[in-house]
Amino acid sequence: MTSPASAPDPAIVLDLIEAYRRSQTMFAAVDLGLFDRLQAGPQTATELAAAIGAHADSLRRLLNACVALGLLLRNDDRYANTDMAAAYLTTDSPRRFTGYIKYSNSAGWKLWGHLGDAIREGTHRWQQAFGWEGPIFSHFFRTDEAAREFLMGMHGFGMLTSPHVAAAFDLTPFRTLADLGGATGHLAIACCERYPQLSAVVFDLPTVTPLATQIVSASSVADRVRVLPGDFFRDPLPPADLYALGRILHDWSEETIDRLLARIHSALPPGGGLLIAEKVLDDDHCGPRWALMQDLNMLTCTEGRERSLPDYRTVLERAGFTHVQGHRTNVPIDAVLAIKP
């Protein structure tokens, strides 16, 4: 038997036991609208409780936990947002993650609760968690408001990551970028901001394009980015010498990916490129942690997976691409570039 003095440090295990409690603290505070309320100025727990209809002492305990997590500041009995909370946790911030946080709480949390069954059966958990047969997004985003908030949450991630993706490779040889499934246009905007010779098209479903148009129109490169509605699985792809897929390939099965890559390869001129923005696994699939957690997330909620650079080489070369390069960034999205010979 191991003596207490020689026992391994349990810090990792203890941290993981507590990890979901930290997540739920932030989720609850966002769901209750606390960060939005505090944008008007510092308030006491009693004032906040009266405003949102909560039990004052219980709310105070939540607020104190948010202080400990670095989400709030406390001066005497008054609470205030940190700059970080104001930027990412309030619903009027252009950098907000709130839509993605609410999705993570209402959908991701339930799907991950069945991770063991996903491992045993090798399939997503839509049916088990919600009784749904069709794609999860079509159920969660049936209203314009729900879809908009999720997209704005992803836009917040995009504002953080897309400038790094745009800088990953030298894109000066290209003249026209078509971002397929480009959502709010954050990648197209970042690329055009970095490369003055580049013009871009944001190509996404008609339900997405009104928000994309709004965001693109307010950007510094609005004269070089246009928004076009369409389905990249069915409709003709807009002409371009550089296509982009940002957080698209990890959603789909190998068969579906092969079909999409074949369409892109066929549409590209010789020498054209494909820029992929995804988190890239280490070659041995044992890191980095963010990518591995996202890989399990894909298992529970999609048909897809995360991939290593050798994995991307396999699928891209199968579609006819060559010169497949990878670039690690210091943000939660990496970049892969492939060329049509």
Q: What DSSP line would sit under 14-35, residue for residue?
A: HHHHHHHHHHHHHHHHHHTTHH
Which of 155, 250, 265, 285 does the annotation list as catalytic?
250
Determine the residue type at 290: W
Six-digit token string for 224: 């070089």
Q: Give the span between the Cα atoms of 326 and 321, in whole angstroms.
A: 14
Which among 195, 194, 175 has a CA at the least distance from the CA of 240? 175
Asked if 66 and 25 touch (Cβ cutoff 8 Å), the reply is yes
Q: Give the span between the Cα atoms of 272 and 193, in whole angstroms.
A: 20
Which among 234, 242, 238 has a CA at the least distance from the CA of 226? 238
Determine the residue type at 59: L
Six-digit token string for 223: 């004269």
32: number of Cβ within 10 Å: 16
Question: Any residues with CB less than 8 A from the CB of 52 and at least 6 apart, and which?
Answer: 32, 33, 34, 37, 59
Q: Give the span between the Cα atoms of 270 and 322, in whole angstroms.
A: 11
Is residue 250 annotated as part of the catalytic site, yes or no?
A: yes
Q: Give the span between the Cα atoms of 11 and 186, in whole angstroms.
A: 39
Classify 62 as helix, strand or coil. helix
Q: Give the span between the Cα atoms of 333 and 206, in whole angstroms.
A: 26
- The residues annotated as belonging to the active site are 250
